[in-house]
Amino acid sequence: MSRFVLLMLLAAASFAAQPVDIETAAKIYQDAEIREQVRASLVSMPGHIRHLFSADPAVKLTDQQLELVTAAAKRGFRIDVFEAPALSALAANLDPPTVKKAAAFLASDLGRRMVAADLATAKLEEATIDKIMNGEITTPSTPQRDALYEKLASAQQSTESTVQIFISMGQAVAVGTAVGSGRDSAAIAENARKSGEASRAGMEQSMRLPLRRYLAYSYRDMSDADLKHLLTFLESQPGKRYVAANIAALGAGFDAMGMRCGEQLGESLRELAQAQVTLPTAGPAAH
């Protein structure tokens, strides 16, 4: 009897882990407006990547090299680079029952308003987003709503997932740069991994409140009842799997863009170095 029960549980687990096809995942991707939300974030990525390199005391780049960083980020951080790996990861981390529940939620009035709120905030100018996250732009709240926002942020894993994406993207840029320039990518990958893990706790601590402010601003027009219904979905088993699938999709897409950016940068820096080595020294003018 126990063996039969075990086999049934294993069969159920296998079915639950069965991925869906790309077309099914693409429908969820479209309904959640992931493309447009990511596209809105890409405008500022070249500036962020340039700051990442210019602020690193271990990396001393010239203005010419920093221009190459900006150019590589523009070529790497594009929606067409993001989309294929993101969709593959989304499909691999969804299953039919989750798709059914998630599709129904996204098609509901609350689901559509949630997506619209997420997209509207994502499309704000970066200066406005910074003010929201710094607390310069606030919305009225109550202790009850604050508690709901806290639970929603936890259910969405907003802090942990954002930090993980930043860390893994930084590692992808570092490894891509090594590959593009012909250096030892394994050693650089290990150093980047150690650096990321060392900074994880501090990053999570510093980002937790700003991301909660961002969430509160996004959902400022929702009632307490709306927030409770949203939390009910996110804390359900399909909701948890939907969140995990979205995090996997974003991680895969940003990793791919980071790697592409790094490869482009590595190639450009190598070409620049070769050009400087082979540049002939100017001699005196002939008389």
pLDDT above 70 as % of the chain: 89
CB atoms within 10 A of CB 100: 11
Closest listed residue to residue 255, CA positions, set 91, 40, 53, 81: 81
Report yes or no: 46 and 77 within 8 Å, Cβ to Cβ. Answer: yes
For 248-286, how does the pLDDT look when each residue is reduced to its tens digit (9 = 90+)?
999 999 999 999 999 998 899 888 888 876 544 433 333
Q: How many residues does the chain have?
A: 287
Q: Tokens standing for 234?
A: 């996110």
Residue of 287 and 86 predicted with greater confidence: 86
255 Cβ neighbours under 8 A, 6+ residues apart: 85, 168, 169, 172
62: which DSSP letter? -
Record the pTM: 0.84
Tell the residue number behind the tokens 């479209």, with chain if given: 30
pLDDT value at residue 211: 94
pLDDT value at residue 278: 53
Judge whether residue 173 has pLDDT over 90: no
pLDDT value at residue 91: 97
Judge whether residue 15 has pLDDT over 70: no
Phi/psi of residue 184, nearest 5 degrees: -70, 100
For 90-111, how does the pLDDT look when each residue is reduced to its tens digit (9 = 90+)?
999 999 999 999 999 999 999 9
pLDDT value at residue 277: 60
For 214-229, how does the pLDDT look when each residue is reduced to its tens digit (9 = 90+)?
999 999 999 999 999 9
Residue 53 Cα distances to 8, 58, 73, 121, 197, angstroms:
53, 9, 11, 28, 19
Could you give the CA distance from residue 166 to residue 176 in angstroms, rounded to a whole number?
15
285: which DSSP letter? P
Minimum mean pLDDT among 117-121, 176-180, 202-206, 223-227: which range?
Answer: 176-180
CB atoms within 10 A of CB 271: 13
First-to-last alpha carbon distance for the chain, in angstroms, is 103
Judge whether residue 80 has pLDDT over 60: yes
In a 3-state reduction of DSSP, which class is residue 13? helix
